[in-house]
Amino acid sequence: MKSFLDWAKSNLVVSIILVVAIIGIPVMIFFSGRWNTGVRKAAADEASAQAREISNVSSTTYTIPAIIPGQAEVSVSTAPNAATTERVRTLRRELTETTESVKGEAITWNQRDKAAMLTTGAPEDRLFPAPANESARLRLTKRMIQMWPEAHKALMERFHVGQPPDPTALAADLQRLRQRERSAIVEGRIDQNLTAEESETINQTLQRARTQRYHDTAARFTVYGSMAMFKAVKPLGEAEVPPVETLWDWQQILWIHSDILEAVLAANSSGGAAGGTA
């Protein structure tokens, strides 16, 4: 032991190196393990990120937007390819062109023959877009209330809208015709009873009269309808004064009713039927 101490003293530098090496080996092993774990985790994280990037590249979502309110868009996730990309691009372009075309036609249709009531004449006689003053507003509002139902009656005349023969009135007319026909047959006869043939003759006469009445009415009207079909046209109380915004809504509703009647007229005309129901 003494000789080892003497050697250590005489070789102090070597001794220090040996001590440091002996102590440093476990420490190096410990930190080496920690460093190895960190390297592995970093490598795993990098690999996961690269995998996600590869997954995103290998799959893309193609979307066709909806053009009708309430309709769901069409989405498909698949591997990107030139053919699919070009097809989706073409479909989206065609949808955009179709939408713009329909929009343009709708605007053109809505703007044609759409003269608003109370928009002509001197400024004090114009209700829209705004009356000249409060006095004009009250005066023109009263006129608009009077014109509102009359404008719809004019629509019915314009599109030849009317009602079929009243069943009660028609039945009364046919009954009077029956009495006249019967009186003409039995007049001057002792036997006032009708034979079967005479009754059948009267029935056929009544049938022809009924058919002719409906035919004449159908010839006068394009479609059957009445003021009752305009649900927005309601009587107002004497003290009720609608604001200008409501009166403008009335104007727009009148235009909508005009478009609907025109569409019904076109549908009935294309079908080749004179007179129908609306």
Assign residue 70 a region (left: φ > 0; alpha: ψ between -120 and 50; beta: otherwise).
left
HSE of 102, CA atoms in CB hemisphere, 13 A: 7
Q: CA 36 to CA 40: how far, in whole Å?
A: 6
- Considering the chain, what percentage of its residues have pLDDT values greater than 90? 24
Q: Any idea which residue has 């592995």 for tokens? A: 40
Strand partners, 162: 224
Q: 79-110: b or e for each residue (b if 16 or more CB lie within 10 Å)? A: eeeeeeeeeeeeeeeeeeeeeeeeeeeeeeee
3-state helix, strand, coil in the chain (%, to 5): 70, 5, 25
Q: With beta carbons less than 8 A apart as the criterion, state whether 226 and 148 touch.
A: no
Q: Where are the domains of the chain?
A: 1-30, 117-163+222-278, 164-220
Q: Any idea which residue has 């004064």 for tokens? A: 241
Strand partners, 64: 74
For residue 160, the tally of other CB atoms under 10 A from its CB is 14
Q: pTM for the full model?
A: 0.53
The predicted-structure confidence for 200-251, as pLDDT tens digits, reads as follows 999 999 999 999 999 998 888 888 888 989 988 888 877 788 898 999 999 9
Q: How far is the CA of 124 from the CAs of 5, 138, 241, 242, in angstroms?
A: 125, 11, 19, 19
The predicted-structure confidence for 27-44, as pLDDT tens digits, reads as follows 455 545 555 566 567 666
Strand partners, 63: 75
Strand partners, 77: 61
**Nearest CA-CA partner of 199 in 181, 173, 187, 211:** 181
Reported confidence tier of residue 181, pLDDT bands at 50, 70, 90: very high
